[in-house]
Every structure is written in structure tokens, then in C-alpha cells.
């Protein structure tokens, strides 16, 4: 089936939101969580999504309405949609509250980290659908649109780099769909080459040196698992898992959550990328049914007009 840009974005958002809601269900005492993962005990439905999905919804909505990122509109949409129960990080929460009060996001987004802005993983966690939307466009445009989407809350160069990495990963995953092979090391290398020089690019490069046969514990030790909530310690592991996901979406998500760390975000990133590879069985239908229903888009109780 042929997909246009917005169809691709919604497909990626389904993968992202399922991953997000799935990963969020596995927080708790580590020994209990790991036992549940080892038994492949699926969480009881509904799986409630977090800020990862809520912010991605705004990105997809803006893309659908305007064909590209309008930063002022995106800032307002982020702020208006924000629900306090979705577990927003302190930095994003502060920025979005300020926007609600009428303050300029350009000032707010640079308050943290000595005026450089956040280099957290928040811009990366929500951006895969943007990469999907622009997957038939030059990578330079993908990178620029990812930058625009990131700057609203993550002005730091590394926060922006994380968004660029995941957007490019999604675009290239779509372009390589149907090959019958895993995305592989060459896919990671192509993503690395698109990332601006810095810590995030260097960290992604390290993923090239981790064997596809490494355990998830060894990979997380080498690459991070998002525990630091930064782009450099979150994105590389996600790319490594997606690159070597020989058994498809479901197995990759179980593998990702086994790394613990910021597991809703890592699962969201992996899910948003792997939903775009059509040589796999795709998102398990019962996982989609378990995820909380999205308020807009295909499958929503009340569809918005396209």
C-alpha cells in the first residue's frame, strides 16, 4: 500500500506511542520488573502513554496542518496540549508553563544549562514521525525540520543533535524498508554522518563498535540506557537495537525495555523507527489495542479533518 507523508507520520506515531506506553508500564523495583520482562508478561490494558506521545501528537498535527514545522505554533500546541499527569520532565514543564503564561519560548528554552538550553532526550523521543513525514525528501531538509522541532524546548546543540539523529533514522528506515535484511551497521553509519559534530555524534559512532550479538546489558553498559536523560546516553542504544532487530518490532521492544533506564523514551524511539520497516510483521494488533486511544488521527473516536 502506498503511503503519503502524513500516513507515514501516523504509522511512526503508532509505533512511538505503543513503545512509549509499553515501556512506561515497566517502572518499579528492578527485580520485579526484570522478572516480568523475562516471563514476557504483558501489562494489563490500557497502556497509558506519556509526554513522549503527547508531544509527538503536536508535531504530527502541525505537519498535517502546515506541511512543516512552524515553531511558534508548535510551542503553543505543546503548551496547550500538556497534561500534568503525563510525566513531563522538570525543564519541559517549566518552559511550557511559561508559554501558557504568555512568555516567549525563545527566552524560556535557553534558561537552563548556563544559557545553552537543555540537551535532554525530550526532542529525540518525539521526532520519529517527523522523519517519516519527510522520508521522501533530502536529508538536509529532514535535519532542518528536526532542528526546528527541537529548539522550542531543547536549544542546546546536543539536544538538537539527538532530534536530528532520530529523525534521520526514521527517514532512512522508511527508505530501506522491504529489503528483507536488518537495517544494520551501514544504517547507523549513515545516521552518524548526518549528525552535527559533538558528543551525540561521537556516542552514535560508538554503536558501530558494539557487536550485533552483544547482550542488551553489555550494549547498555557501552552506550547508556537513558538513565541520564540526555541525548548522548539515550539515542545510541536505541539505534543499535533498531539496527539489529532481526526478529521484528515485538522482540525489539522487549529487548529495549530489558535495558531499563528511561524505558518509556527508549521504547518510544525504537518503536517510532521500526514501525516504518515493512519487512517485519509490524506492531502486534493486541499491543495497539492495549495502548490508550489517541485523541486525534486514524483510529481516534472523533477524527479531525485532514
How far, in Å, are 95, 132, 227, 228 from residue 261 at the CA level? 24, 26, 5, 8
Kindly report the pTM of this predicted structure: 0.94
User: Is residue 254 in some structural domain?
Assistant: yes
Residues 150 and 145: their CA atoms lie apart, in Å, by 9
User: Is residue 300 in some structural domain?
Assistant: no
Helix (H) or strand (E) holding 247: none
How far, in Å, are 23, 114, 191, 239, 257 from residue 252 at the CA level? 12, 37, 19, 11, 9
pLDDT at 110: 82
User: Is residue 306 in some structural domain?
Assistant: no
| Cis upstream peptide for 46 (omega within 30°) | yes
User: Is residue 228 in some structural domain?
Assistant: yes
Cell of 31: 527485580
User: Is residue 135 in some structural domain?
Assistant: yes
Could you identify the residue written with the cell 500534568?
Answer: 84
Residues 161 and 83: their CA atoms lie apart, in Å, by 26
Cell of 177: 524498508
User: Is residue 68 in some structural domain?
Assistant: yes
> What is the CATH number for 9?
1.10.4080.10
User: Is residue 301 in some structural domain?
Assistant: no
Residues of the chain falling short of pLDDT 70: 1, 112-117, 119, 278-281, 298-306
pLDDT at 306: 29
First to last CA, the chain: 19
How far, in Å, are 31, 40, 145, 160 from residue 135 at the CA level? 40, 33, 12, 19
Closest by alpha carbon to 58, among 33, 86, 98, 31? 86
pLDDT at 113: 56
User: Is residue 297 in some structural domain?
Assistant: no
The range of the structural domain enclosing residue 203 comes to: 5-290
The domain tally of the chain equals: 1
Neighbouring CB atoms inside 10 A of 135's CB total: 24
pLDDT tens digits, 147-158: 999 999 998 999
pLDDT at 238: 98
**Could you give the count of Cα atoms lying within 13 Å of 299 in the half-sphere of its Cβ?**
13
Amino acid at each position: 500500500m502506498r503511503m503519503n507523508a502524513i500516513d507515514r507520520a501516523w504509522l511512526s506515531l503508532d509505533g512511538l506511542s505503543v513503545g512509549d506506553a509499553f515501556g512506561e508500564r515497566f517502572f518499579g523495583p528492578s527485580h520485579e520488573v526484570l522478572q516480568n520482562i523475562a516471563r514476557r508478561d504483558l501489562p494489563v490494558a490500557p497502556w497509558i502513554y506519556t509526554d513522549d506521545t503527547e508531544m509527538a501528537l503536536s508535531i504530527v498535527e502541525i505537519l498535517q496542518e502546515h506541511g512543516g514545522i512552524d515553531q511558534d505554533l508548535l510551542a503553543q500546541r505543546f503548551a496547550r496540549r500538556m497534561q500534568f499527569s503525563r510525566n513531563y520532565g522538570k525543564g519541559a514543564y517549566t518552559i511550557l508553563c511559561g508559554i501558557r503564561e504568555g512568555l516567549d519560548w525563545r527566552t524560556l528554552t535557553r534558561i537552563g544549562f548556563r544559557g545553552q538550553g537543555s540537551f535532554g532526550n525530550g526532542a529525540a523521543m518525539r521526532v520519529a514521525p517527523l522523519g517519516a513525514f519527510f522520508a521522501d525528501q533530502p536529508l538536509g531538509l529532514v535535519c532542518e525540520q528536526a532542528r526546528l522541532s527541537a529548539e522550542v524546548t531543547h536549544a542546546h546543540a546536543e539536544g538538537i543533535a539527538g532530534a536530528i539523529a532520530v529523525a534521520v533514522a526514521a527517514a532512512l528506515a522508511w527508505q530501506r524498508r522491504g529489503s528483507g535484511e536488518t537495517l544494520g551497521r551501514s544504517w547507523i553509519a549513515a545516521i552518524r554522518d548526518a549528525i552535527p559534530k559533538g558528543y551525540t555524534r561521537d556516542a552514535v559512532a560508538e554503536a558501530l563498535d558494539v557487536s550485533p550479538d552483544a547482550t542488551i546489558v553489555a550494549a547498555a553498559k557501552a552506550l547508556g540506557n537513558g538513565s541520564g536523560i540526555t541525548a548522548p546516553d539515550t539515542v545510541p542504544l536505541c539505534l543499535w537495537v533498531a539496527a539489529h532487530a532481526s526478529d521484528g518490532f515485538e522482540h525489539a521492544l522487549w529487548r529495549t525495555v530489558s535495558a531499563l533506564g528511561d524505558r518509556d523514551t527508549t521504547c518510544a524511539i525504537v518503536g517510532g523507527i521500526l514501525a516504518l520497516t515493512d519487512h517485519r510483521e509490524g506492531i502486534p494488533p493486541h499491543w495497539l489495542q492495549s495502548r490508550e486511544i489517541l485523541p486525534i488521527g486514524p483510529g481516534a473516536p472523533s477524527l479531525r479533518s485532514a
